[in-house]
Amino acid sequence: MALRSAIIGCGGYLPPTIITNDELAARFNLDTSDEWIRERSGIRQRHLAGPEDNCSTLAAEAARRALESAGVTADEVDVLVLATATPDSAFPATAVRVQALLGMTRGFGFDVSAACTGFVYALSLADAMIRSGQARCALVIGSEVYSRILDWTDRASCVLFGDGAGAVVLRAEEGERGILSTHLHSDGRHGDILHVEGGAGSTGGTGLLRMAGREVFKHAVTKLASAVDEALEANGLSRDDVQLLVPHQANIRIIDAMGRKLGLPKDRVVVTVDRHANTSAASIPLALDEAWREGRIRPGDLVLLEAIGGGLTWGAALARF
Ligand code: UT7
């Protein structure tokens, strides 16, 4: 029987401060409106990190919750893979900071940089390490504090993102359940349509997010559709086999388009973008955690994950629960 990475626990953490669209517009004196933001993106509010929060603290809290839900202790974890575009610092890896916060003194951790597709990349790496026998238990985290890299004078981007972290625990199992396959892509020719201008190795500073939203939107619809087809074909499955779609949460219009493509009714597509905004690498594990806690994922369900982000990077994963 095949060795698989079973998803045995989920956790999420959102910083407690919630800012509505109107509050954001007033706070940063933006020429925007709640109506524009909701109509174009589906976002109503976002959580923002406080001064004491950073990527590692949000990640550690999500990880603690995921470990608890899995019934696993931190010292059982062999590898911690953390996806982020907003690490605490250039090095050490934020994953290692999280190890320390969790009290992990064995195993190893590292960061993955693939922007909003980061969680799918991290999941893919952890799954490969489990299937090759390099690890038996993995903690996969997406954690972001985009509020630190947003240009609060750019209304076209700053209204779209939020802070948060999500995590899953994977364990080696022989059986039917687990990650069936992951499918990763990147195309650096489009690197500048969604990028951080400046940073540790160029300007030495943090850098600010720049996005040509309409361009990214066009790529999103076609590239996500092809990644989803690729994942289903690779497993000899059809869209009718999918019980739940857990998409990256960038824009409700993109999420709805993917739901329509798969022929899924709205109750089988997980949506958090209205409350969380786009939390980049954290959005899929946060959405998965919400669906899990609400009892929307039952044993045997086939769950499809997909994401696109800066790079361009994009990908999909199929998991049986
Ligand atoms: O997570 C990584 C992947 N990211 C994404 O998938 C994001 C993809 N892109 C999007 O979600 C959408 O393109 C946006 C939500 C960013 C923008 O929606 P859009 O329908 O593509 O609007 P647009 O960029 O074409 O802008 C339409 C108009 C422009 O004015 P003009 O040129 O038509 O006069 C913008 O200047 O809306 C204006 N605008 C705004 N107006 C009020 C841009 N931002 C705002 C704003 N409030 N915050």
pLDDT in tens, the chain (321 residues): 789 999 999 999 999 999 999 999 999 999 999 999 999 999 999 999 999 999 999 999 999 999 999 999 999 999 999 999 999 999 999 999 999 999 999 999 999 999 999 999 999 999 999 999 999 999 999 999 999 999 999 999 999 999 999 999 999 999 999 999 999 999 999 999 999 999 888 888 889 999 999 999 999 999 999 999 999 999 999 999 999 999 999 999 999 999 999 999 999 999 999 999 999 999 999 999 999 999 999 999 999 999 999 999 999 999 999
Pure H helices in the chain: 21-27, 34-41, 55-70, 94-102, 118-131, 155-158, 213-234, 252-262, 273-276, 283-293
192 and 284 belong to one structural domain: yes
Neighbours of 133 (CB within 10 A): 9
Minimal-distance CA residue to ligand 1 atom 45: 156
Known catalytic membership, residue 248: yes
Which atom belonging to ligand 1 lies closest to the Cα atom of 156?
Answer: 44
Last residue of a domain, one of 135, 150, 175: 175
pTM of the predicted protein model = 0.97
Q: How far apart are CA 178 and CA 128, in angstroms?
A: 12
320 phi-psi bin (left φ>0, alpha ψ -120 to 50, beta other): beta
Which atom belonging to ligand 1 lies closest to the Cα atom of 253?
Answer: 11
The H or E element spanning position 315 is strand 313-320
Last residue of a domain, one of 156, 175, 194: 175
Pocket of ligand 1 (CB under 6 A): 32, 36-37, 40-41, 116, 155-156, 159-160, 213-214, 216-217, 220, 250-251, 254, 278, 308-309
CATH code of the domain containing 207: 3.40.47.10
Domain that holds residue 247: 179-320
Known catalytic membership, residue 278: yes
Known catalytic membership, residue 116: yes
129 and 116 belong to one structural domain: yes
